[in-house]
């Protein structure tokens, strides 16, 4: 008897597996659909109760047709739900004259929208259209020359000023006009001569003048601590050799140095190493002797 009962149970299980696979599959599909709908339950409830009357296919207020998309995956219409999220954060929707949900409903819907949209954006980032090529602005060009060639240049003397947009001068740098291209080529020629040490055709020199309004009573930034006054000159020597460096103190029309009432020390540095230390003393005839 028990043996026959076991056979009946076994036959019933086999028969169920053969006859009802579609029912089992349908049951599983329904369960999966319910689980996928749960993350958007607060959003769908709010849209159906408070939003669908105005944001449907007929009225479509604000350009939004939420009644046609609120049952679908939120990430398929991310742009529309971003607009909804901004309105809900500011509590602008539903309008004050319409029926509005409680604060807890607002919080739940905002949390569901933020979580879904942020997760989708992290998985599929879309930075938008960017320029394939763009030129360097003056500051970037100057820094690139410094890093690549170890040359300190003044890009403001070689290139025109960059146009500013939204407070930045590296935004409108997508185009390169023929005139600007000539300036970049001219700058590259001058920089390349400095980089390879091209000699001059004729002997010559460079003169650096101290600005007349620059005080010599305070420390100059970039010079050693403890010094007062002086001039810091970034300079690239064109080639190896012996250079003659002459220092001339500023004089008035009577060839006298103002303020020189006692001896002072004048220090000459090259790459922050001392080359020479001079003593400048006021002579009796009020003429300067450089020792």
- Express as a percent the part of the chain with pLDDT over 90: 7
E-strand ranges in 243-285 read 264-270, 273-281
E strand or H helix at 290: strand 289-290
pLDDT tens-digit map of 210-226: 887 777 788 888 888 88
Give the pLDDT score at 261: 77
pLDDT tens-digit map of 103-145: 998 899 999 899 888 988 888 887 776 666 778 888 889 999 9
Q: What is the mean pLDDT of residues 33-50?
A: 70
Give the pLDDT score at 21: 43
What's the chain's length in residues?
291
**pTM of this prediction exceeds 0.95:** no
> In this model, does residue 70 exceed pLDDT 90?
no
E strand or H helix at 256: none
């Amino acid at each position: 008897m028990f043996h026959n009962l076991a056979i009946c149970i076994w036959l019933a299980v086999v028969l169920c597996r053969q006859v009802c696979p579609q029912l089992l599959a349908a049951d599983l599909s329904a369960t999966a659909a319910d689980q996928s709908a749960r993350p958007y339950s607060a959003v769908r409830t709010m849209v159906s109760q408070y939003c669908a009357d105005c944001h449907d296919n007929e009225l479509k207020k604000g350009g939004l047709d939420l009644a046609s998309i609120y049952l679908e995956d939120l990430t398929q219409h991310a742009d529309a739900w971003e607009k909804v999220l901004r309105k809900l954060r500011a509590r602008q929707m539903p309008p004050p004259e319409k029926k509005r949900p409680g604060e807890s409903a607002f919080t739940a819907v905002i949390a569901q929208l933020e979580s879904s949209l942020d997760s989708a954006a992290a998985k599929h980032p879309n930075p938008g259209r960017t320029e394939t090529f763009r030129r360097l602005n003056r500051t970037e060009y100057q820094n690139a020359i410094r890093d690549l060639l170890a040359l300190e240049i003044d890009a403001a003397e070689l290139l025109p000023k960059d146009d500013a947009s939204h407070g930045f001068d590296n935004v409108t740098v997508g185009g390169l006009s023929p005139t600007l291209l000539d300036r970049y080529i001219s700058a590259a020629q001058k920089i390349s001569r400095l980089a390879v040490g091209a000699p001059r055709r004729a002997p010559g020199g460079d003169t650096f003048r101290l600005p007349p309004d620059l005080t010599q009573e305070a420390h100059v930034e970039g010079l050693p601590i403890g010094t007062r006054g002086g001039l810091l000159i970034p300079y690239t020597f064109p080639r190896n050799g012996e250079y003659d460096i002459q220092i001339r103190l500023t004089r008035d029309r009577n060839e006298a140095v103002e303020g020189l009432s006692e001896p002072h020390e004048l220090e000459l540095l090259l790459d922050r190493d001392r080359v020479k230390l001079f003593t400048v003393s006021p002579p009796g005839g009020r003429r300067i002797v450089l020792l």
